[in-house]
Structure 1
Amino acid sequence: MIRLLGASLVGLLLSILVVLGGAGPAAAHATLVEADPVDGAVLAEAPDEATLRFTENVALSSGGVRLYDADGTERSVQAEAIDEVVTVALPDDLGRGSHVLTWRVTSADGHPVAGSITFAIGEASATVVRPDVGDDAGALRHVVAVTTAAAYLALFAALGAMAFWRFLLPGDQRRAPAGQRVLRLVRIAGVVGAVAWLLVLWVRTAALSGTGLSALVSPGEWSLSSAEVSASVLTAAALLALRWVTETWPVGIALGLGALGPSLAGHTRAFDPQLPVIATDIVHVAAGSAWFGGAFALALVLPQLAGRRAAADLVARFSTLAAGVLVALLATGGLLAWRIVGSWSDLVETTYGRVLLAKVTVVAVVVAIAAWNRFVLLPRSRAAVGHDAERSAMWGIGRAVRAEALLLVGVLALSAVLVDRAPRSVETVTAPAAPLTRTVPLGDAEAHLTLEPGRVGVNTLSVHVEYPEGAPLTKPTLRISGPDADLGEQRLEIVGHGAWTSRIVLPTAGTWEFWLGLRVDKFDNPVEVATFEIP
């Protein structure tokens, strides 16, 4: 048993490392689709509030939204989340220049999402200190993934092995050494699983804080949803109960609660209709546990039953159960994939979809091994004559069962990775690029320049001059030079009182200088430069 568990742990860790090594950063589960003000906006005056709209309902913890001035000074804000919208009350004394609004929310499926937007009042600051938004990528994300995988491994092993011991093993075999080995597996996996599911609460709380691995020592405020806490506590309680219960009804209740727990949190809570999706997930967890834990239990008892007809009968019973479990897995897995993934394109274009395809591939290999075992190896065992022939045939079946169990560890590892992946790509709604604005003094006058869209190519420059009282409304002059070209004098067309416009083609990105002059009188012709950074 120790060697089998050790090999399983190696398989689990290898599967996780392979997936995490090629999957890239964790994708967000709730995605920002609209912000007001938009990222990069330059506003004429300070707004009273900012709003953030996400693809699904989100929750805020204390300090989840922060506001910083351009120099990195934090300003006090009040924020609240109602359904998918976060509303932020901004300070009344918000000054000119750039400001950075950072947010960290918990999506409906319990995962942290972080980001930031930058906006400016009057004009953008020359330099902006970028605060750390506390993204959950990195080492802590791997801790969450490994902890979750260990919790699911122990859960499936305990539930499936107990179902095998209670409902598949004959009564005399339950009390025999083979049955006691399975019972020890159930009790060890139950205790390990209970600790792991409570540990999942700890590491997820740390991940929500956004402060990296240091949060494992002091995770701070408890910010998990009640559904996540209930799911983990219920699952831990069900696993601990398996240490003491052995009768049919208590075992059945514990198994049912163990399958229910994981379905109360995660992706199933984020998709409608919730009750059918959660019910489907419960059946999926129960079927997966019966197959996974049953295969482990079968691998444990077969060496002690080798050479006996009882072994062949047990394999036949488990194969019959596995066939029904496979039908349930395919049906529930298909329904869950349809509701959660949502489209064929997301099946290949998202990390979640690709990991799901990898999981299906491994399951297909396991099914092939199980079919070979049931339809080739088992008939050979029944046809074998003599103790040695029977023992050799059962040894072949045992190897196939062990291979099946180890591959199912990989399936479970992939399932744990899916828990922390975004199932759908989101086409983010982006507003048009905000125009670039500058203000320059021209003697006693002041000129406001607006360049739109502020990109390489055709742009429209609007110039509005505020003349001092009594001053003549003289036409300004404009000359433009850039990193690789001097565009020379530009023609300005009057469009209103003190308002002028010009069509400008900027051929390359870089720093462009707009030299604006204004003849105030015959002796005074001030010229000032407005600098625009063109991406």
Structure 2
Amino acid sequence: MMKTLTTGRLPALLGMLLAALLCAAGPGAATASAHAALTSTDPADGSVVPTAPRQVQLTFSEGVLLNGDSLRVLDPQGARVDEGKPSHVGGRSGTAAVGLRAGIGNGTYTVAWQAVSADSHPVAGAFTFSIGAPSKTTAKVATAKIDPTVDTLYGVGRYAAYAGFVLLVGGCVFAGVCRTSRAVQRVAVGGWIALFASTAALILLRGAYTTGKGPGSVVDLSLISDVLATKPGAALLSRLLLLSAAAVFLAVLFGSYTREDDDRTAGERRDVAYGLAIGGAVVAIGLAATWAMAEHASAGLQSWLAMPVDVLHLLGVAAWLGGLAALLATLWTGEAIPRAAVRRFSRIAFTSVCVLVATGLYQSWRQVGSWGALTGTEYGRLLLIKVGLVTVLVGIAYFSRRWTQRLTDRTEPKKPKAAAKAPRNNGASPERAAQLARQQAALTKAAGQRHRDADEGRSGLRRSVLAETAVAAVLLTVTTLLTGTQPGRSETEQKEAGAAGATSPATAGPAEVKIPYDTGGTNGRGTATVRLDPARSGNNTLDVTVTDPTGRAVEVPELDVSFTETQQKIGPLRTALKHIAPGRWEATGFQLPMAGAWQLTLTVRTSDIDQVTEIGNVKIN
């Protein structure tokens, strides 16, 4: 049986839980891969055309947002030959095109592209085509790489925004339908503060996040202006405006409306309640829509239906998980809560679960697309984890309902007497008087806790709700990771597009290079095995395994891999490596623009001061 937690142990438990969540959220944010897959180009990657085209056109698996430098076309000497601003073809958001200058000569041209997916994630890559005949080129192309610090801060901000929304909406629903109290007010107001602060931080970080710049650029006014001109930026700004209305709503909900000693009639209070319900629903729906209009739901299949479904899903999550937090806060303070109020929340939670199941099934079908993607993609595996956590949460909720049935509405108990009275002052010094007052307060608090824990029904309910809240916090982390992970359907389309665009025979296999290294420090020797699959121009999967001299997988603090085409002087091209297992890193969707002999540069750091860079070669078909 679980022992009853004391108030002194609760902060330690919450601190450990918060640390675990930050550890889970930090690296997860950095693993977000490209969400818009490049499916075709005109001219085609690696093709030779007889005459210069009027424009270069790209087609993506979903909509992208463009800026003035989204498409750059470089001639064999590395000079830009594109003309005008990039634009969508025929108003289709899944396309991008830029014109070429008249009179450009023969040779090999490099196209570097960088955009933002319609679901707010940055994407980039490069490819080549030739006019007349291939030639040597000095074009240097480096794909944008998200700064690790910015990436981590942006991921934490996204998690804090989701958590704040859940606490704000769930706390207000609990206060309006079940019971309000000082503890519930702290939950709702704390959610408002977290959501407001994280949204403001995301606006500042967004420009650096999408352009690959460092933390110092977060106060760049030009970047902030560019962010606010995009759909994700407009959504964040709308969220801040809605939070201003939410602040007024909170003031009324927890202000004069909740006072039991006001002189309003029952009809007047009912009118205010209806007004609060309508106003709160409008604000909550608006806040949820700021996610739906800027992330996965706004791009891809059936976006007209996916966005309202996503809004319902978010509201269901908030009413359930935020209400849990409000119920836990009420139970933990020992405030009297009627059995009827707990039952009302139980009905809200059950309705929320039904909404989550219905909307979750649709979202899963839309984002995963196939049974194979459910286990064969990162998005699918995270979704399975989320389903497992929801199942655990529902199981714990079953025990909470059993404890609810054992609750009895008691008359308000008399305040417990302290175990001992503090000695009188008797002319003692102010310091001694303050010490005696603290002792009296501690005795009264301890007596109150004993009285609270003596109620078996409420103690059991408090323990089960605490367990539900802990699982809910982990569930919220997984949900945040899902919104930053490439959907399974999109990843499958990207792989199919890469396979369709490959020009080498289907029998060509992956390339593997073993690179020994020695950083000179303790445990500084080992071998890195770099595997590139299918080792063709276009999309590739990069897999790096690091082992010690005995062949055992080892961890290293830092690992970086880049590719350079020395003859054409393209690169170095890099991609973010995701740590997937001890001693193993992986990157999917890594694009190499052309076939040829590429130089592989490996940098390994084994301590704060021990680092080495080794060179290898790999053949790209």
The alignment's TM-score, normalised by the length of structure 2, stands at: 0.62
Cα offset for 1:397? 1.8
SS at match of 2:87: strand
| Partner Cα distance (1:402, 1:433) in 2 | 57
Q: Which of 128, 134, 138 pairs up with 2:144? A: 134
Cα offset for 1:149? 1.0
Cα offset for 1:55? 1.4
Quick one: structure 1 residues 66 and 115, their matched pair in 2 at CA, closer, same or farther if it must change by over 3 Å?
A: same
Q: Which of 81, 87, 92 pairs up with 1:80? A: 87
| Correspondence for 2:178 | 168
Report matched runs for 1:207-222 at 5 Å: 207-218=209-220, 220=223, 222=226
SS at match of 2:112: strand
Matched, 1:290 2:322: no
Q: Is the 8 A contact 2:75 2:137 kept in 1?
A: no
Report matched runs for 1:46-445 at 5 Å: 46-78=52-84, 79-82=86-89, 83=92, 84-126=94-136, 128-136=138-146, 138-169=148-179, 174=180, 179-218=181-220, 220=223, 222-223=226-227, 227-245=231-249, 246=253, 247-248=272-273, 249-250=275-276, 251-305=280-334, 310=337, 312-375=339-402, 377-382=403-408, 390-423=454-487, 424=489, 425=491, 426=493, 427-428=496-497, 430-431=500-501, 433=503
SS at match of 1:40: coil
Quick one: structure 1 residues 105 and 510, their matched pair in 2 at CA, closer, same or farther if it must change by over 3 Å?
A: closer
| Partner Cα distance (2:377, 2:597) in 1 | 35
Cα offset for 1:254? 2.9
The answer to which of 60-69 and 203-212 deviates more is: 203-212
Q: Is the 8 A contact 2:72 2:80 kept in 1?
A: yes
Quick one: structure 1 residues 6 and 287, their matched pair in 2 at CA, closer, same or farther if it must change by over 3 Å?
A: farther
User: 1:44-80 deviations in whole A, cap 9, x for unaligned?
Assistant: 4433321111112323111111122445444443332
| Partner Cα distance (1:419, 1:89) in 2 | 34
Cα offset for 1:160? 0.3
Q: Is the 8 A contact 2:57 2:97 kept in 1?
A: yes
User: 1:65-123 deviations in whole A, cap 9, x for unaligned?
Assistant: 11224454444433322312222212334344432211112222232221111223454
Quick one: structure 1 residues 129 and 189, their matched pair in 2 at CA, closer, same or farther if it must change by over 3 Å?
A: same
Quick one: structure 1 residues 260 and 217, their matched pair in 2 at CA, closer, same or farther if it must change by over 3 Å?
A: closer
| Partner Cα distance (2:37, 2:466) in 1 | 42
SS at match of 2:73: strand
| Partner Cα distance (2:78, 2:13) in 1 | 51
Report matched runs for 1:460-479 at 5 Å: none
| Partner Cα distance (2:46, 2:8) in 1 | 58
User: 1:347-403 deviations in whole A, cap 9, x for unaligned?
Assistant: 22222222222111111111111111212x33455599x968752442232122122
Cα offset for 1:230? 4.1
Q: Is the 8 A contact 1:105 1:112 kept in 2?
A: yes
Cα offset for 1:434? 8.8
| Correspondence for 1:525 | none
| Partner Cα distance (1:3, 1:124) in 2 | 70
| Partner Cα distance (1:5, 1:121) in 2 | 67
The alignment's TM-score, normalised by the length of structure 1, stands at: 0.71
User: 1:247-300 deviations in whole A, cap 9, x for unaligned?
Assistant: 532334333333333222211111443333222212111111011111111111
Structure 1 segments unaligned to the other structure (5+ residues): 436-454, 456-508, 512-532
Residue type of the alignment partner of 2:57: T
Quick one: structure 1 residues 71 and 12, their matched pair in 2 at CA, closer, same or farther if it must change by over 3 Å?
A: farther
Q: Is the 8 A contact 1:66 1:77 kept in 2?
A: no
CA RMSD of aligned residues (A): 3.5
Cα offset for 1:145? 1.9
| Correspondence for 1:491 | none
SS at match of 1:62: coil
Q: Is the 8 A contact 2:147 2:209 kept in 1?
A: no
Residue type of the alignment partner of 2:320: W
Residue type of the alignment partner of 1:202: L
The answer to which of 363-372 and 106-115 deviates more is: 106-115
| Partner Cα distance (2:302, 2:134) in 1 | 46
Quick one: structure 1 residues 142 and 3, their matched pair in 2 at CA, closer, same or farther if it must change by over 3 Å?
A: farther
Report matched runs for 1:509-524 at 5 Å: none
Quick one: structure 1 residues 336 and 432, their matched pair in 2 at CA, closer, same or farther if it must change by over 3 Å?
A: closer
Larger Rg: 1
Quick one: structure 1 residues 340 and 45, their matched pair in 2 at CA, closer, same or farther if it must change by over 3 Å?
A: same
| Partner Cα distance (1:372, 1:108) in 2 | 42
SS at match of 1:428: helix
The answer to which of 135-144 and 262-271 deviates more is: 135-144
Q: Is the 8 A contact 1:207 1:215 kept in 2?
A: no
Cα offset for 1:40? 2.3
SS at match of 2:312: helix
| Correspondence for 2:558 | none
Cα offset for 1:129? 4.4
| Partner Cα distance (2:327, 2:14) in 1 | 15
| Partner Cα distance (1:148, 1:71) in 2 | 42
| Partner Cα distance (1:86, 1:144) in 2 | 27
| Number of aligned positions between the proteins | 431
| Partner Cα distance (1:317, 1:35) in 2 | 57
| Partner Cα distance (1:132, 1:226) in 2 | 24
Q: Is the 8 A contact 1:190 1:239 kept in 2?
A: yes
Q: Is the 8 A contact 2:25 2:155 kept in 1?
A: no
Quick one: structure 1 residues 4 and 98, their matched pair in 2 at CA, closer, same or farther if it must change by over 3 Å?
A: farther
Cα offset for 1:329? 1.0
Cα offset for 1:127? 5.9
Cα offset for 1:159? 0.6
Q: Is the 8 A contact 2:167 2:318 kept in 1?
A: yes
| Partner Cα distance (1:243, 1:36) in 2 | 51
